[in-house]
A and B are shown apart, each in its own frame.
Chain A
Amino acid sequence: MTSAPLKGAGLVEAGPLADGTGTAAQTVRPSRPRRRGRSAPYWFLVPTLTLFAAFTVVPIGYAIWLSLHRVQVKGIGLGKGARQQVWNGLGNYTDVLKDSEFGHSVLRAFGYGLIVIPTMLGLALLFALMLDTPRARSAPFARLAIFLPYAVPGIIAALMWGFLYLPDVSPFYYLLDKLGLPQPDLFDGGNLYLSFANIAVWGGTGFNMIVIYTALRAIPPDIYEAARIDGASDLKIALRIKVPIVLPSLVLTFFFSVIATLQVFTEPMALKPLTNGLPSSWSPLMAIYDKAFLQSDIYGASATAVVLALATFVLSFTLLRISDRYTREDRA
């Protein structure tokens, strides 16, 4: 599901909330409607809150309810009333913690994240700095080209790369063959992580680059002017001035990349038909889907989903706290 809300892209969207809310709070000069119109904001919020209740609050509540229940089968489980939902306390949760399949899927997601996140953000920062370098040619073209993958649905990106990984079709294998080099199996073991990671890097770099580049452009040019008069080179200016200033955006893109990584779904799903023996619970989301619909255990699946949500929240707050500290030190 790295595709829609998760593509790193989808999530980075909310990235600036730390800065943004601050800006908003400053600029909001609430008008004071007298008597008439006092209820207006509530009316305007009705659609938002209705949808939020129906498609966020209620489903989460239902998932928690399910996670605390299980099905009890009477007799051979046939006939009316033979299957009943009964209270199961934390039983499903202890099962989740013992479930090595889910544990492995989380470990795989972390391994995948260790490859994707540094590569993607490193490239995004590099390209953003290069775009911001005076006298770089073809910057507008490159900016568009690098951002273009954002418009490609994650699943289609994964399908395209999947074909490019097939030895019979791929130009890379053709080159290796001509050069007489060994040809790795990109669908095998450890290479599989690289294959998935490459798709995510391809799809996510452009968006993160734009976020960082936007932060770079907000820096007043006089700062460089002064540094330049002091004899600083472009490289020095980039490392000593630009990188520290865009650190808060980097931290935020990192934050949303971590969350997206935990939810990796699209790439392994798309490449599954092309590979043999990719487990159907490769990533945490796949494990939950597998449990809910292939093993028809919606109770266990709900407990797993709640655990994943809690882990995401804990991770988010930890990261946000760290990013807060960074931002403050930066201002100090």
Chain B
Amino acid sequence: MTPLTLTAGPKGGRRTAWVPTLVLLLGALYCLIPIAWVVVAATKDRSELFSTFTFAPGSGFFRNLSDLTAYRDGIFWRWMANSAFYAGLGALLSAAVSAAGGYALGRFAFRGREAVFKMILAGVLVPSIVLAVPQYLLLSKLGMADSYLAMLLPSILSPYGVYLVRIYAAASVPAELMEAARMDGASEWRIFSRIAVPMMMPGLITVFLFQFVGIWNNFLLPYVMLADDEKFPITLGLYTLLAQGASQPALYTLVITGCLLAVLPLIGLFLVIQRFWSLDLLSGSVKA
């Protein structure tokens, strides 16, 4: 990290800066408390949840797990699989579409380029419900509401993804290389698929991860689109479970265990891909 050069300032020394360290640790504590809580609470059985001290581990984790798995013939795992499907396929398609669109906007000069780009970016500003309600009404006219496609299709286009690939393509695919390939008689498709895509890969991975998290976390779209709980993603599934829990508190332990299991894959993914996750890209500061 850059601050290394600073440690040798006039005040010098290697003393720890206690105030910043303390502030950071308090911040970390605040952010970790709910996660630590859900880990502990998932180990408690129904009676322990409301009777023992919050952070005292319980004895019921495996029973909670088997209860959750048994709940309505394992619908919880179906929700998890649905989420993985929506987020995985949606993010993959999103990265592909963004790759082509961003490459066109970043590496070609053509009439209407800026207009197209601004129009797509303006899409970010449209409140999601303004789109979701008419999308639902239109898809139900086509007989497609409450289907896997109804959830998948609206999730593919990512204005942010197009924006990011545009910047990335402009910075990482040299015009000279494209020109040379053209001289050698390569088709535009071949230049894109064999030269540009590999060079843009870090940017595409970032788009994929963002969109994956975005779709996995989405609640409003499935809430509007889906009625059949066999097609629910995990967010909507756990929400309906909680709503029922208001009348049957026995379901609370299931919701808590479900929350833990739903969060784990994302946190795991997060820790693993941290190094690929291009945080500098995220704020648009690409340096060629």
Q: Which residues of chain A have C-beta atoms less than 8 A from B126's C-beta?
A: 56, 60, 309, 312
Instruction: Indicate if the CB atoms of B125 and A285 lie closer than 8 Å.
Output: no
Of the listed stretches B65-73, B74-82, B131-139, chain A binds B131-139
Q: Which residues of chain A have C-beta atoms less than 8 A from B20's C-beta?
A: 129-131, 133, 135-136
8 Å CB contact of B9 from A42, A206, A225: A225
Chain A interface residue count, CB cutoff 8 Å, equals 130
Of the listed stretches A23-31, A74-82, A88-96, chain B binds A23-31
| B58 CB, min distance to chain A CBs, angstroms | 12
User: Which A-chain residue is minimally distant from B126 (CB atoms)?
Assistant: A309
Q: A30-B108, A155-B235, A214-B285 are in contact. Are A62 and B34 (CB under 8 A)?
A: no
Instruction: Indicate if the CB atoms of A44 and B55 lie closer than 8 Å.
Output: no
User: Which B-chain residue is minimally distant from A320 (CB atoms)?
Assistant: B125
Majority SS of interface residues in chain B? helix
Question: Can you list, as one digit per residue, whether each of A56-87 has a CB less than 8 Å from chain B (1) or not (0)?
Answer: 10111011001000000000000000000000
Question: Can you list, as one digit per residue, whether each of B215-255 has a CB less than 8 Å from chain A (1) or not (0)?
Answer: 11111110110000000001110110011011000001001
Q: Which residues of chain A have C-beta atoms less than 8 A from B124's C-beta?
A: 5, 11, 14
Q: A60-B130, A145-B31 are in contact. Are A13 and B282 (CB under 8 A)?
A: yes
| A29 CB, min distance to chain B CBs, angstroms | 5
Give the size category of B's interface with A.
Answer: 35 or more
A101 to B236, CA, bound (A): 26
User: Which B-chain residue is minimally distant from A198 (CB atoms)?
Assistant: B30
Instruction: Indicate if the CB atoms of B219 and A37 lie closer than 8 Å.
Output: no
B37 near A: Cβ within 8 Å? yes
| B196 CB, min distance to chain A CBs, angstroms | 10
A144 to B30, CA, bound (A): 13
8 Å CB contact of B3 from A31, A52, A132, A285: A132
8 Å CB contact of B16 from A4, A137, A154, A159: A137
Instruction: Indicate if the CB atoms of A152 and B35 lie closer than 8 Å.
Output: yes
8 Å CB contact of B263 from A21, A62, A156: A156
Instruction: Indicate if the CB atoms of B131 and A7 lie closer than 8 Å.
Output: no
Majority SS of interface residues in chain A? helix
| B278 CB, min distance to chain A CBs, angstroms | 10
Instruction: Indicate if the CB atoms of A52 and B120 lie closer than 8 Å.
Output: yes
User: Which B-chain residue is minimally distant from A21 (CB atoms)?
Assistant: B117
8 Å CB contact of B285 from A137, A150, A218: A218
B interface residues (Cβ-Cβ under 8 A, vs A): 1-3, 5-7, 9-11, 14-17, 20-21, 23-25, 27-28, 30-35, 37-38, 41, 49-50, 53-55, 96-98, 100-101, 103-110, 113, 116-117, 119-121, 123-131, 133-135, 137-138, 153-154, 156-157, 159-160, 162-163, 166-167, 170-171, 175, 178-179, 182, 187-188, 192, 210, 213-221, 223-224, 234-236, 238-239, 242-243, 245-246, 252, 255-256, 259, 262-263, 266-267, 269-271, 274, 279-280, 282-286, 288
Q: Which 8 A-B pairs have the closest CB atoms?
A: A16-B284, A30-B109, A48-B101, A20-B284, A4-B218, A145-B28, A44-B104, A142-B24
17 CB-based A-B contacts, threshold 8 Å: A3-B219, A4-B128, A5-B128, A20-B167, A23-B286, A24-B166, A40-B104, A62-B134, A151-B266, A171-B55, A210-B279, A228-B11, A262-B127, A266-B220, A292-B133, A312-B125, A316-B125
- Known pairs A27-B167, A31-B175, A273-B243. 17 more at Cβ < 8 A? A1-B129, A19-B284, A32-B109, A40-B108, A49-B101, A55-B153, A60-B134, A136-B21, A136-B24, A145-B27, A146-B24, A160-B37, A163-B256, A168-B50, A263-B127, A265-B129, A298-B133
